[in-house]
Structures are given as structure tokens and as C-alpha cells.
Amino acid sequence: MTSSSPRFIYRLFGWSGAYAPILMLFSAILIIGGVSRALLVVWQFGRVAETSVWPSIFLHGLRVDAIVAGFAVAPLVLLLPILGHRFSWKIWKRITILWALFTLFLFIFMEIATPTFINEYDTRPNRLFVEYLNHPKEIMSMLWEGYLPTVIAGLVACIAITLLFAWLLQPWSQENRPGHYGKALLVWPIVVLAVFMSIRSSTGHRPANPAMFALTSDGLVNSMIINSTWSVAFSIYNLKHENHASANYGQMDMETIMSEIKSEPWLNGATFPSETFPTLHAQTPKMHRARPLNLVIVLEESLGATFVESLGGIPVTPRLEALKDKGWWFENLYATGTRSVRGIEAVVSGFPPSPARSVVKLSLSQQGFFTLAELLKRKDYDTGFIYGGEAHFDNMRSFFTGNGFDTIIDQHSYESPVFTGSWGVSDEDLFNKAHEDIQKLHALGKPFFRLVFSSSNHSPFEYPENRIEQYDEEKRTVNNAVKYADYALGEFIETAQKSDYWQDTLFLIVADHDARVWGDELVPIKNFQIPGLIIGADTERRRIHSVASQIDLAPTLLSLMGIQSEHPMIGRDFVTYPDEPGRAMMQFNDYYAWMDHEHNVTILRPSQPPLAGTYIKETGQTQYLTEPPSADTIQKALSHALLPLTLYREQSYGLPAD
């Protein structure tokens, strides 16, 4: 590009006087947004071409980019009458140039970060992007170890494009005289109206929002229509309103919600005596024991069914597969979400998913919220959480210490670990610590509950040398990390089987979620299936064929342990109700999926009508129907989607005072 280029650009915009940098910024965002979208479409053309929005994706995308461009220039437009005259011309130039460079840099950064985020989550940056920013140490370590070349290239490109824009602004920045101030004021109301219309982007009752651009059944393609800056900004905005997020699906009074909840076969005969805790009811175990069993829950990071051969995955979990004939093996178990904290709330609290953040992170659930730890602590159990990383991650320490967990063991508790990676010590260090802790507790003769949470299967997939025969030739891959995690788990269970505590302890091995949950569907149900195994003590071999949810595990464990209890969980006890038709509930981004025992699926969408479909397990695809779901099905799905945040807001998911 020659030195005359800035002058040429200035001639295109210079006629507008004080409005020149505003027009340049607005145009730059439209151009960069369009180029970025075009490159993403080329990259994912196979999926884009299969949708109904091709090629109109660019027209819709231009509309979204105009929304962001409008927000970017709005502060400058509002300041122009005050600073756009000759007495404050120098101040106006500095402010406009700095603001234009800052906003453009931010927009470019978000677009450049998009491909890496799509590789990981199959969507543009969204609320997950914001949540991960709360943990800079872990994220910086992960980026340094696993994505350093990509990060460097992205920053170089981001800086280069921003400097190019600064170069193009030079002629205007050297302008000593403002344009005609009177003319600028004369057109100012028209410019304000144009910017307002650009931002609102709709003549309807409500301004445009991402739901308006969810035009296909492929979530990734829907996210391509918008841009990453708006996606993240809208997520931040929604965080303020997330306590009421499920209301986007529809409205229902609490009496109707509870009527649906109580109609489930395993709750149909229960009594709900509390007005404060509407789902509180008694559970009588079918297993009668003179001394209830101890409990150890092993929550495996990102260990979805895609890594379990007998569940249709690849053969990288041989140790887990070897154990499935020695206990209760769930063949149709589904996670409630795609984040670890979502798995924690479901497994430890039996809490259903919602479109808000997990209750592990929400303020009103940091004390007085039900967990198995609180219930068992009241029955004189020693309760604790064992983790290889830092327990503050995802707010786990706060949630656990406030809700019944007496002991927290994290990365700072390990002396001379075998291996330490970006996310903490290795899984074998974790399980060695767990075995040591359990042995001590058993020797004391006090009943105990431990939640053990692994972390080795996490990008950038670091693990010790010479432990496994690698599945992939390259060492740091998700398949090899899963195989190592399986190795460490197998060693732990083998050690436990030879220990005195085995006969008195029930073990649950379950994933928090699958790795990289993605696909060309609103809710990729295939990637929600996870393995689940209950083993230990006198547990017999059993295959659970029924559709099951993570929220069913805690009631089942209490029954197997022989615990007589009163709790607010609405999940199914598979000991007492083994033959009832099952169901699963899944939250994916803003979409909620309800799947019944026949794999009929109802998808709730924000500000849009529900969709009906059938999940074909053999192909891993959902066939959507043209007809809407039945009214009864919508009511059942909606009641379960609305219940969690209703209970959270009212702080009514807990136990009565001792």
C-alpha cells in the first residue's frame, strides 16, 4: 500500500468533517466482520451449505455487524456537539482516535479468537469465554502450553490490523481545522436516529437479540450469523438477568410446575410437607443395612461415551470397561450440561439444569443449598472434596465449604507430586491422595463421603511419561489424555479392591460431561451421553438400560447405601423404581432438551416456539419434525426447565434446620 492510500481513504470520508473517524470506524467494523464471517463460512462450508440461511447468512450478518458498529460509534456521536467545534478540536481528535483504535482492536481480537474457540466448543465465544476470564492463572497456563503459536499469531495480526487503521486515520489526525460546525449540528439529529436504528435493528416491540438470528437447527451456523463481540457482550448483559433466564422459554405458575414434578412415577406416592422447601420429601431405602455404607464419588473430567467402546466410542478406556461387569453399569446415562460445575450440581446436589450459570457459581446458593455432603454430615459422616488443581476454580471451594464439605484437599495439599501440569497434579497423584485419605478415615471407624474430581483429561492434555501405550502418535491429544485418566482410575480401583475399606464403601464413577460437545444440532444429544458405574461393597452386576439423567444418581446412591433421608431431589431411585420409563434433561447454551424413554425430544428455545424431534441413537442425530410438540409434552419439559431457578431464587432447595 502506498503513502497515498491514507489520503485516498481520507478523501472518501473527509467530506464529513468531524464525522470522518466515526464513519471510518463504522465502515471498518462492517468490513472486518464481513471478512471474518466469510472466512468462517469457507472453513465450515460443508455445514453452512446444508442450512436454509445459505447464502443469506452474509445479509443477516451485515445487520448484526451494524448493531456492533452502532454501539461502537454511539459515544462519539453523542459527544460531537460538545467537542466537535474549533475550541476543543484537539481534544476531539485525541478522544475519537483513541476510542476508535480501542474498539476496533477489541472487535478484531474477538474475531481472531473465534476459530480456536469454535475448535473447542463448536460455537462463537459466549458466556464460557467470560467465565474463563475469571481464572487467568489456569487459562494463561493452558494457552502457553497448548496454544502458544496460535496466540502469538493472533496477537500479531490483531496489532497489525489496528496499526493499519491508525495509519489510515493519519490525514484526519493532522487536520488543523474542523469542518463547518453548524452543518455538523444540523445533521446531528439525523445521525443520532441512524445510529439508534442501527443498534435497535428492528421496528418490533423489542430490539434485535441473538435469538432472532437462530435461523437453523445448527447452533454453529447460527453463531456465525452474529459476531463474537456481540455474542460475548450479550452474554455479559444476560448475566445480570440470569436468575430469570428460564422465563425466556415461557411462563408457568408454581402450582402447575409442582403438579408436573409430583406426577413422575417415583414421586407420585411421596408426601411433600414443607412450604419452604416444596420438593422436600422422604426417601426410604430399599436396601436395609445395620450400618450404612461409606460413599466415594469419582467425577471424571470430560469422560464422555465417545471414549467408551461399548457405548459406541473409541477404545481408550479399557480399565473402565473391565469394571463394568462388577457393578451397576448405566448404558443410557446423560449429562445435564457441558461444564464441570453443571456436572457437580447434578451429581452432588441432584439439581436439574437451567439456562443460567450453575448454582455452584451463583450467589444465593453458597450457603444453605442442598448437597449430599450436607445430608450425610447431619448423619455424622466425615465429608470432603479432593482435587488435583486449585479448589477456587469455578467457585468450587466457596460452594463446597458453604454446603456441607468439611475438608478441602487441592493442589496445595500435595507434597512431591509425581507430575504437575497446567491444571494441577496428575490423576495418579490425585488417587494416591484419595486412597491415603480414605484409609485414614476407615481406620478411625467414622463413616465418610469423599468427592474426588480428576483433571488430567483437560487441554493442553499433559500427563506423565511411560504410563500408557498411546492411542495417537502425537502425545498431547484428548484420546491419549483420556487413556491416561483411565489408567489412573483403574490403578485406584485395583488398589481400593485390595483395601479394608472396599467392603464398607460404595463407589460411583461418572463423567461430569463429554469433551468438546458439538455438532450440527441445537442440542447435540450424542455428546451428552456419559458412562456411569456404581461399584464396591456388595454391589451386584446389573445393566441399567433405561434412559437416565445425572440427577438420578444421588437418590440411587442413598438407597444403595441404606440411608433413610429427607431431601429435595427430584431424581429417580433406580433401586426402588428399576422399571419405570426414564427421561433425560440437557442444557446446551440457551437451549433446553427434554428426552423421554422412547427418545422423543422437545427443544425449548428462548423467545421461539418449541421444536419436536426424535433422537436416533444409532446415528447420533436428532430428526426434527415439522409439527410442534404436544401441549402435554411442552408442559412437562417447561415445568422441569422453570423449576430450578424458581427454587434457587426462593432459596428453597435445601434442608430444614437441624
The continuous run of DSSP H or E covering 633 comes out as helix 631-649
- In a domain, residue 559? The reply is yes
- In a domain, residue 421? The reply is yes
Shared-domain flag, residues 258 and 185: no
Shared-domain flag, residues 313 and 211: no
Average pLDDT value over all residues in the chain: 90
The continuous run of DSSP H or E covering 652 comes out as none
Question: How many structural domains is the chain composed of?
Answer: 2
Check: CB of residue 560 under 8 Å from CB of residue 295: no
Check: CB of residue 65 under 8 Å from CB of residue 140: no
Q: Where are the alpha helices (DSSP H) in 122-249?
A: 127-132, 136-146, 148-173, 181-200, 219-225, 228-239
- In a domain, residue 283? The reply is no
Q: Which of 340, 326, 375, 310 is nearest to 542 (CA)?
A: 326
Exposure on the CB side of residue 123, measured as CA atoms within 13 A: 27
Q: What is the mean pLDDT of residues 155-166?
A: 91
Q: Amino acid identity, residue 215?
A: L
Rounded CA gap, 653 and 413, in Å?
32
The CATH number of the domain holding residue 312 is 3.40.720.10
Query: Which bin fits 227, alpha (ψ -120 to 50), beta or left (φ > 0)?
Result: beta
User: CA separation (Å) from 318 to 330, 468, 514, 596?
Assistant: 16, 11, 17, 30
Shared-domain flag, residues 443 and 312: yes
**Per residue in 185-216, pLDDT tens?**
888 999 999 999 999 988 776 688 776 787 77
| Residue showing cell 494463561 | 140
Whether the per-residue pLDDT at 2 is higher than 60: the answer is no
Mark 340-370 as b/e (b = at least 16 C-beta within 10 Å): bbbbbbbbbbbbbbbbbbbbbbbeebbeebb
Whether the per-residue pLDDT at 171 is higher than 90: the answer is no
Whether the per-residue pLDDT at 241 is higher than 70: the answer is no
**Per residue in 272-320, pLDDT tens?**
999 999 999 999 998 889 999 999 999 999 999 999 999 999 999 999 9
Model-level pTM?
A: 0.79
Shared-domain flag, residues 263 and 221: no
Q: What is the mean pLDDT of residues 466-487?
A: 95
- In a domain, residue 281? The reply is no
Shared-domain flag, residues 105 and 128: yes
Q: Decide: helix, strand or coil at residue 329.
A: strand
**Per residue in 379-421, pLDDT tens?**
999 999 999 998 888 889 989 998 999 999 999 899 999 999 9
Shared-domain flag, residues 221 and 260: no
Q: Which of 272, 356, 312 is nearest to 590 (CA)?
A: 356
pLDDT value of residue 243: 64
Rounded CA gap, 134 and 145, in Å?
19
| Cell numbers at 606, concatenated | 428462548
Supply the range of the domain harboring residue 107.
Answer: 4-240
Shared-domain flag, residues 375 and 509: yes
Shared-domain flag, residues 140 and 261: no
Shared-domain flag, residues 452 and 543: yes
Contacts of 303 (CB under 8 A, 6+ apart): 317, 320, 457, 482, 485, 486, 511, 512, 514, 515, 530, 531
User: CA separation (Å) from 575 to 325, 335, 581?
Assistant: 18, 20, 14
Shared-domain flag, residues 309 and 193: no
Mark 87-112 as b/e (b = at least 16 C-beta within 10 Å): eebeebbebbbebbbebbbbbbbbbb
User: CA separation (Å) from 439 to 408, 491, 533?
Assistant: 17, 16, 22
